[in-house]
Structure 1
Amino acid sequence: MTKTIGTDQQHGRVRQAARRAVTGLRSSWPLVLLSALLVALALPAALLVAPGFLGPEAPAPAPSAPAWQQAPATLSARQGLAALDAAAEIPSQPAVTAQLDPLLKADGGGTFTGMVQDAWTGQVLFDRGGSEGRVPASNMKLLTAVAALRSLGPGHRFSTTVVAGPAPGQVVLVGGGDVLLGPGDSNPERALGHAGLATLAAATVEALTSDGASGELKVLVDDSLFSGPALNPAWDSGDVAAGEVAPLFPLALNSGRYDPAVTTGPRPQDSAIAAAEEFAARLRTAGAAAGLTVAAGVERSPAPARAAGGESEKPVVLAEVQSATVAEQVDVMLQDSDNYLAEALGRLTALADGLPGSNDGATAAVRAQLSAAGLATDAMKLVDVCGLAMGNQVPARQFSEVVRAITSGADTRLRAALDGFPVAGLTGTLDTRYGGGATAGGAGLVRAKTGTLNTVLALSGYVVDADGRLLVFSFIGNGLTPGAAGNKEALDRAATALAGCGCR
């Protein structure tokens, strides 16, 4: 009995505890609902503010780039021409002759002469009338390049200056031989326009205002550096009218052109005055803010600027700009076959050698420099230094020897001319040639100076043959049928054959 009563009591106490729990739960139910609501609201808020504490989410991995866009794991094999091989066998003369003779055939009238030599030894590998005097056209510029680099030096520059004039309020623009002046700001990255008239004008205004100058300025020009006729009487008037060349002055814009991009047609007939007028316009713009005005019109200085201020007194230099180097100008001359620039470099070479800055001085200086370089000149007749005159007579052998001196001679100053040789199918006057099936093999391999007149074609340059031997060559056609397409093709095929020659 005792046991039963005790058990019932225990059950009773359990039931009472359960009633109290239910009652407590009923009384706390609003608090549970409130807590659940707070949790539901807090979760989105936590998601919003969590990045501020945890930092940005890690970006998704980028898709893998294609293989050709990925950094290389190893260096590519070196490309380009193989190095010269000193042990390479020299081609045999009979084999080279057998290759070239069938190719150098005139299309219509006229004949080709030519010379090929091994550059290192001078050994003659092909000789067809190589000692005969020929009209070389623009191959003449190779002779001018050698003379300028020897006499002036590859790094020489020409100055265009502004000095105080002989009377108050006058300034004199003095030509120092730079015919590649640009109208705007100087551009040190280019040969054409390396020195700019806008830069020169701004520097002139700065110098004048620092000295307290004001009022009106008058621009004079001193172009007395060159002498003799501005136009060579040996040049054909039709070539001058066509814009192949223009009267020569020791300062000019765009190598004596109105627009550097337009290389044919009318050109300024007085490049010195044209440059002075452009300078005056730039000076007028630069001086406006400083209270300086510039009188209309320009005039030639009554006396060379070096005499201004008396015999013992040099003029006050107000401003100066310098040209591209001789080496850079030689590159332009050869790549573009620029007649005006060639004639200017010839006269500047003459002045450096103590000769007059004239056409006669230029031809004499070129001859003297070639002779001093150990090159034969007895068979040469030089009428100009750009090759426009039909009176020039130079054998193919002389051009072959000149190219040999440039590529491998003892005078390393001449190496500066190498960049100026047009590359077949790519640059300069050879950029549109070597595209046909018979000549495509020479594209990128033949490097040569062209020459073109009405009845004249020439090509002088160098190649590395299939065995790694450096060969120099010159081919000249005279009396050719004007416009006959096969003549350029003959020159290009011959040069291509040399590039592919393993002629033993």
Structure 2
Amino acid sequence: MHFGRWLHLLCLSLLLNGCASVSPTSTSATLDRMLADPALNGATVSLMVRDARSGATLYQYNPRTRLVPASNLKLLTTAAAMEVLGPQYRFSTQLRGNGVQQGERLTGNLYLRGLGDPTTQLADYQALAAQLASQGVRQVQGDLVFDDTWFDTERLGVDWAQDDESTYYGAQISALTVSPDTDFDAGTLIVTAKAPATAGQPVSVVLSPPTDYVQLSNRAVSGPGNTYGITRRHGTNLLQLTGALAPGEQRREWVSVWEPTQLVANLFEQALAQQGIKVLGRRVIGGATPNTATLLAEHQSAPLQALITPLLKLSNNNMSEALLKAMGRQTANAGTAQAGVAAVAAFMQRQGLDPATLSQVDGSGLSRRNLVSSQNLTDLLLATARQPWFKAWYDALPIAGNANRMSGGSLRYRLRGTPAENNLHAKTGSMAGVSSLSGYIQDADGRRLVFSMLSNNYLGDAAPIRALENRLAVALTQWRD
């Protein structure tokens, strides 16, 4: 009797601990049931699961149906960049002159030449000005030329949504730009508003980096209702602050600027003035630097193998577009999205993949004219795993449930407390009616799988679709053939 009671308590303990002795097994039928979820009624899904070593297909559902991938397209862009540009590739920003120095005077023009670096910050431009001052220059007789010709003048991607235009993730692309933070949200300003303690009083506003390039229309006040908001009027740098912010509350918003090259011009002129350097000539935007101009100072970015971490973890659109145009410049001497797409297609062909089976128009996935299938993405994941730079790329993918922002990235709040936590390495993607998740995961036997799930045309909130993606990830950790 005593033994029977002990055995009963042991079994109850095992049950409460989630079947500690035996893990449930997932099969194709498990995924069939998942795809029958009512959240997918009227939606279109492309799903494929494969063995990462052999490439064998373990499950497929509409594997060759092309869908909008959103930010899953960054898998293709970054993988191509690692091969085309190389893991050690660095962006550069140069200060050049086409005259000679005579005492404190620099004859000729001064050129600030941008080579596409989306990570350059105000401090980097200030350091360039300080390097020039350290050489004894106090006066520039010619013009100050801001050279952004390394990339074309197409500031936005193909068919980007109009209502994304003032957002940080829809910021304009320029070869000469500035980031306000270490997330490298290039082409944007951080607008910090603080409400005073007295209701009805206007909020105070601070811009980072500090600039007078934008104009403020501040109608926001301290008060109840939490209706504060900020917009930028199309074609201008007029920032309109409206609504109410609770007394004592502070709010930070990231707002893109119109023409980031001119924002750089504003900031660099301030930097020169702080160093006591006076320019006698004009400000010239978009002029080309002569090949004979002498290098006076230079700033280089971190290597690409380091830059892909913030890019993939935080799904940085502007960095992705810079990489696409940099590939175009590298392969065809044309800093255009079209040349970059051609470079990506050539990379695919070298990996034995067929670029004719997909459509790519930008680097970030922000356009709805991008179309890929789960077959395309799992083919890419298999090919990438064979590359010498694979570890750096794999580590740059968001890791499920990892609370560290630069480890977990866009997956840091998902799948905590599940077998997918710190197991799943994958890229997320999201826009209205679109959700995607593609990457690598280990199954119940420790075998690495690759998978891709693309969902389009669902209605309502994305939460039920993400819940299905999470169920898929957990199911794959329990997969057994």
Superposed CA offset, 1:104-139 (max 9, x none): 336154132201110110000010111111111110
Question: Is 2:406 aligned against 1:422?
Answer: no
Cα separation, partners in 2 of 1:115 and 1:264, compared to 1, 3 Å: farther
Question: Is 2:165 aligned against 1:198?
Answer: no
| Deviation of 1:365 (Å) | 1.5
Written as runs of structure 1 = structure 2, the 5 A alignment for 1:236-315 is 236-254=161-179, 255-259=186-190, 265-285=254-274, 287-288=275-276, 292-294=277-279, 298-300=283-285, 302=287, 304-307=288-291, 314-315=292-293
* SS class of match (2:255): coil
| Deviation of 1:353 (Å) | 0.9
Question: Is 2:151 aligned against 1:226?
Answer: yes
* SS class of match (2:355): coil
Question: Is 2:97 aligned against 1:172?
Answer: no
Specify the alignment match of 1:478 in structure 2. 456
- C-alpha separation between the residues in 1 aligned to 2:327 and 2:27? 38
- C-alpha separation between the residues in 2 aligned to 1:373 and 1:395? 17
Report if aligned partners of 1:241, 1:266 keep a CA contact under 8 Å in 2.
yes
Gaps of 5+ in 2: 1-24, 100-105, 180-185, 191-207, 210-250, 403-407
- C-alpha separation between the residues in 2 aligned to 1:201 and 1:404? 46
Specify the alignment match of 1:101 in structure 2. 32
Written as runs of structure 1 = structure 2, the 5 A alignment for 1:273-422 is 273-285=262-274, 287-288=275-276, 292-294=277-279, 298-300=283-285, 302=287, 304-307=288-291, 314-407=292-385, 409=386, 411-422=387-398
Deviates more, 1:140-149 or 1:212-221: 212-221
The letter of the residue matching 1:336 is L
| Deviation of 1:379 (Å) | 1.1
Specify the alignment match of 2:84 in structure 1. 151
| Deviation of 1:263 (Å) | 9.4
* SS class of match (2:389): helix
Report if aligned partners of 2:187, 2:256 keep a CA contact under 8 Å in 1.
yes
| Deviation of 1:298 (Å) | 3.9
Cα separation, partners in 2 of 1:295 and 1:466, compared to 1, 3 Å: farther
Report if aligned partners of 2:66, 2:373 keep a CA contact under 8 Å in 1.
yes
| Deviation of 1:299 (Å) | 2.8
- C-alpha separation between the residues in 1 aligned to 2:306 and 2:159? 28
| Deviation of 1:363 (Å) | 1.6
Cα separation, partners in 2 of 1:358 and 1:482, compared to 1, 3 Å: farther
Specify the alignment match of 1:60 in structure 2. none
Report if aligned partners of 2:142, 2:281 keep a CA contact under 8 Å in 1.
no
| Deviation of 1:394 (Å) | 0.6
* SS class of match (1:134): coil
Q: If the length of structure 1 is used for normalisation, what is the TM-score?
A: 0.71
| Deviation of 1:282 (Å) | 1.8
Deviates more, 1:361-370 or 1:233-242: 233-242
Q: If the length of structure 2 is used for normalisation, what is the TM-score?
A: 0.74
Report if aligned partners of 1:106, 1:487 keep a CA contact under 8 Å in 2.
no
The letter of the residue matching 1:183 is L
Specify the alignment match of 2:14 in structure 1. none
Q: Would you tell me which structure has more helix in proportion to its own residues?
A: 1
The letter of the residue matching 1:488 is R
- C-alpha separation between the residues in 2 aligned to 1:472 and 1:160? 38
Cα separation, partners in 2 of 1:161 and 1:355, compared to 1, 3 Å: closer
Point out the structure with max Rg over C-alpha.
1
Cα separation, partners in 2 of 1:127 and 1:264, compared to 1, 3 Å: farther
* SS class of match (1:341): helix
Report if aligned partners of 2:172, 2:256 keep a CA contact under 8 Å in 1.
no
Of 36, 39, 54 in structure 2, the residue corresponding to residue 121 of structure 1 is 54
Report if aligned partners of 1:106, 1:480 keep a CA contact under 8 Å in 2.
no
Report if aligned partners of 2:114, 2:176 keep a CA contact under 8 Å in 1.
yes
Superposed CA offset, 1:350-391 (max 9, x none): 111125211211222211211112222221011212111111
Report if aligned partners of 1:140, 1:386 keep a CA contact under 8 Å in 2.
yes
- C-alpha separation between the residues in 2 aligned to 1:263 and 1:176? 30
| Deviation of 1:486 (Å) | 0.9
Question: Is 2:413 aligned against 1:446?
Answer: no
The letter of the residue matching 2:418 is A
Specify the alignment match of 1:468 in structure 2. 446
Supply the RMSD in Å over aligned alpha carbons. Answer: 2.5
- C-alpha separation between the residues in 2 aligned to 1:201 and 1:273? 17
- C-alpha separation between the residues in 1 aligned to 2:281 and 2:30? 65
Gaps of 5+ in 1: 1-93, 185-195, 308-313
Q: Would you tell me which structure has more strand in proportion to its own residues?
A: 2
